[in-house]
């Protein structure tokens, strides 16, 4: 069984390494618009061979589409036009509704499985890929009723092989929840980084001597790749606007507590925030 990987960055590369670690499949074929990524992918053993997209579509039994979400939305209909009814294609995009809606009426829609393995980190590219990236992480399956049972079974095998937990949602539910769970934290990190840079950009000593671990941990996501995240923000724009507005309301609440010297309310506010730790247990 040949596995085709379209997009050989962090996610696509880690899926390949994770599956190869468990001897899943026979040959791994890859393609990437970034020639540097393609060369690294072969050198690192992510794929056996780099071939043109059309050849990959014809030679692969399973196709994993791991490129920015706007690219997935654009290319997916043409991929479905090309593949046979025995081929399974799955994507790894961080938004799902626009992608699913794009191929909703496609005659080969059943060969597509919409998935989102939630395991990204701030680093990108095949050099950051590793075989255990997905270990015990969650993978969201969306609109599964529109996929053929054998296609779902294959996608489940792939993520089970990497020891991922599987969750099933509609694409609308996914995009709403992920706007708070992933997209808003990135907005916050980008915004905090720009706040500090604008205030202290020319004061290098401040960065070296005065910035604490809180800033470092909160801005960790700020080095994430804009080529990945801008399409995500555009795709999930409406949900993200609501999430940002909710967050801004809480910032305003905290600011008003400070302005009004309502320190007991700040104490209560922090104690309530502490309860989020219980949600992760």
pLDDT digits (tens, 9 = 90+) for 84-124: 999 999 999 999 999 999 999 999 999 999 999 998 777 77
User: Closest Cα partner for 28 from 36, 19, 120?
Assistant: 19
CA distances from 250 to 3, 105, 177 (A): 46, 41, 18
Structure tokens at 59: 């030679």
Give the number of residues written for the chain.
281
Structure tokens at 75: 């290319």
DSSP bridge partners of 261: none
Other beta carbons within 10 angstroms of residue 210's beta carbon come to 10
Q: Do residues 28 and 53 touch, judged by C-beta distance below 8 A? A: no
Does this model's pTM top 0.85? My answer is yes
Return the pLDDT at 205.
78
Return the pLDDT at 57.
96
pLDDT tens-digit map of 168-204: 999 999 999 999 999 999 999 999 999 999 988 778 7
Positions of the chain with pLDDT under 50: none
Structure tokens at 19: 């599956």
Return the pLDDT at 119.
86
Return the pLDDT at 281.
66
């Amino acid at each position: 069984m040949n596995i085709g990987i379209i997009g050989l960055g962090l996610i696509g590369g880690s899926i390949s390494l994770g599956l190869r670690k468990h001897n899943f499949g026979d040959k791994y074929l890859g393609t990437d618009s970034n020639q540097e990524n393609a060369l690294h992918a072969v050198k690192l053993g992510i794929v056996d061979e780099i071939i043109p997209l059309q050849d990959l579509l014809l030679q692969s039994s399973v196709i994993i589409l791991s490129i920015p979400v706007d690219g997935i939305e654009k290319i997916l209909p043409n991929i479905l036009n090309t593949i046979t009814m025995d081929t399974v294609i799955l994507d790894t995009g961080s938004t799902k509704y626009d992608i699913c809606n794009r191929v909703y009426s496609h005659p080969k829609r059943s060969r597509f499985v919409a998935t989102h393995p939630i395991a990204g980190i701030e680093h990108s590219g095949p050099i950051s890929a590793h075989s255990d990236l997905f270990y015990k992480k969650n993978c969201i399956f969306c609109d599964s009723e529109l996929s053929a049972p054998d296609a779902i079974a294959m996608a489940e095998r792939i993520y089970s092989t990497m020891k991922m937990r599987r969750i099933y949602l509609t694409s609308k539910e996914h995009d709403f929840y992920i706007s708070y769970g992933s997209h808003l934290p990135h907005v916050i990190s980008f915004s905090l980084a720009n706040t500090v840079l604008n205030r202290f950009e020319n004061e290098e000593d401040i960065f070296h001597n005065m910035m604490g671990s809180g800033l470092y941990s909160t801005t960790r996501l700020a080095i994430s790749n804009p080529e990945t995240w801008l399409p995500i923000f555009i795709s999930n724009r409406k949900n993200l606007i609501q999430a940002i507005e909710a967050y801004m309301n809480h910032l305003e609440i905290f600011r008003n507590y400070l302005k009004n010297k309502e320190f007991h309310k700040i104490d209560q506010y922090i104690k309530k925030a502490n309860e989020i730790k219980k949600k992760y247990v």
